[in-house]
Amino acid sequence: MSQYIAALDQGTTSSRCILFNQKGEVCSCAQREFRQIFPKGGWVEHDPMEIWASQIGVLVEAMGAAGLHADDLAAIGITNQRETTIVWEKATGRPVCNAIVWQCRRTAPMIEKLKQDGWAERIRKCTGLVPDAYFSASKLAWILNEVPHARERAQKGELLFGTVDTWLIWNLTQGRVHVTDYTNASRTMLFDIRRLCWDEDILEYFDIPLCMLPEVKPSSCVYGHTAESVLGGEIPIAGIAGDQQAALFGQCCFTPGSVKNTYGTGCFMLMNTGNRLVESENGLLSTIAVGMDGKVEYALEGSIFIAGAVLQWLRDGLRMLHSAPQSEEYCRRVKDTEGVYLVPAFAGLGAPYWNPYARGVMVGLTRGASKEHFVRAATESLAYQVNDLIDVMKRESGLELTALKVDGGASANDFLMQFQADISRVCIDRPQCVETTALGAAYLAGLAIGYWKSREDILINWRKDRSFLPEMAQEDCDKRVKGWKRAVRTALYWAQEEE
């Protein structure tokens, strides 16, 4: 059998390709950032052709760096930014407009109308999701409403919809395969996560033709093969999972009650609930964790819209940092934030608040506040938001979280991980391989073709890098968390004024 599995990790700010061997070790990696397009306040777009070009580019680059050819790859797995919505012409493959990114808030009024029309509970029961502009449904409806002749062309079968996984597979197979998996489908707000099918009533509400939608398949199976003209060989595409579900799988959270948190552009905490679909009453989402072996497993999820993006903003927007990892150095220069809090509600607030109108606020400023305090407040905001999710997840699941597996770029920040352990009073376990999102996609692809025989084979590969245990005094911790909640109320008050 060929030696490597290629994982395509198509994220919100960059496309990456990582080649893994049977031990789950990184053998080659390439990454390329692409443009973030902000046409109006609260609007976020990507160029789908740029997504495709950057993703195929890093695949070729990673193979070239390792001196590999197509026949050296056993399979390709795909993991992707979820909810981001692309519509393209079936005949030509040309997108009809830019991709509308998961962070985009343009359809918030459409969601408000949906709630007024009495659909909120129906959506929650069927899809497991809290109605929000975050998900694909309203984004797709917006494209059909606003792009000239789009709905008419869609009804004729001329246009196709897909999340980013679907778009990549369409291009890798040169239009032969139009497919998604259960995890990505479960994030569209159009999919019944119990019946495992597109919901006819929700499609009718949004006036979305069924013929636009991809076929939904398990997360681990052979969907098709790359066209020979794309990579010089027909490589099986055998695994798909939305980025957070892929990270859950890559972290080997296979048993009910196991939890991981990814510190990426956003922050996403998932708890495996096995075959039990837990309905949240406090702003968490019920979602599909993975689909394989003829069944699906479920998860509880808490979603934070802006996490690592705060550090990117400090670097690119405010030019306070040369690189995101530099934030750790600034954080350690001061003993605390001097009472300063940053609530990074740049795209509204996700779980457990779900307020699309909230906006970023900084509170507690005095003349004594310095650049170091500002950077530390921004960094700590990631941990505070995650702590909000931990509190809710404990209540919803009835389980006490004693350990939290972490991954994503910001999990390499030792200051942040220690602060998380302190305020959340849990043990933080960081694996040696923090590329767990890509690794999860590789595992799903490898299992489908027999590269790995079982989940037990995979479990052997998970190795801990370091654990972080709480050190801060409980009284100090409580005081800081109390200040954070007060800052959040300020951001929510701003939202009331906006309404």
Residue 497 confidence (pLDDT): 56
Instruction: Write down the pLDDT at residue 91.
Output: 94
Q: Is 174 annotated as a binding residue?
A: no
Report CA 187 to chain centroid distance, whole Å.
Answer: 10
> Does the annotation place 384 within a ligand binding site?
no
Q: What is the pLDDT of residue 116?
A: 94
Give residue 289's identity as a one-letter amino acid code: A
DSSP 438-490: HHHHHHHHHHHHTSS-SHHHHHTT--EEEEE---S-HHHHHHHHHHHHHHHHH
> What is the spatial order of strands in the sheet that 14-20 belongs to?
26-33, 14-20, 4-10, 73-80, 236-242, 220-225
Residue with tokens 């002749």: 149
Q: Is 134 annotated as a binding residue?
A: yes
| Phi and psi at residue 471, to the nearest 5° | -125, -30
Is residue 11 part of an annotated ligand binding site? no
Is 80 among the annotated ligand-binding positions?
no
409 is in an annotated binding site: yes
CA distances from 154 to 32, 63, 183, 211 (A): 33, 37, 24, 8
- Residue 21, marked binder: no
Residues 6+ apart with CB under 8 A from 367: none
| Annotated binding residue 279 | no
User: Structure pTM?
Assistant: 0.84
| Helix axes 48-65 and 164-172, enclosed angle (nearest 10) | 60
Check whether 106 is labelled as a binding-site residue: no
Does 312 belong to an annotated binding site?
A: yes
Residue 14 assigned ligand-binding role:
yes
Residues 52, 362: Cα–Cα separation, whole Å: 37
Q: What is the pLDDT along the chain (499 residues), one digit of tens a residue?
A: 568 999 999 998 899 999 999 998 899 999 999 999 999 988 999 999 999 999 999 999 999 999 999 989 999 999 999 999 999 999 999 999 999 999 898 999 999 999 999 999 999 999 999 898 989 999 999 999 999 999 999 999 999 999 999 999 999 999 999 999 999 999 999 999 999 999 999 999 999 999 999 999 999 999 999 999 888 899 999 999 999 999 999 999 888 888 899 898 888 899 888 888 888 888 888 899 998 877 899 999 998 888 888 998 999 988 998 888 889 999 999 999 999 999 999 888 888 888 888 889 999 999 999 999 999 999 999 999 999 998 888 888 777 777 899 988 889 999 999 999 999 999 999 998 878 889 999 999 999 999 999 898 898 888 889 999 999 999 999 999 999 999 999 999 887 755 4
State the Cα–Cα distance between residues 455 and 404, nearest whole angstrom: 20
Report whether 296 contacts 196 (CB < 8 A): yes
Tell whether residue 13 is among the known ligand binding residues. Answer: yes
Q: Collapsing DSSP states into helix, strand and coil, what is residue 225? A: strand
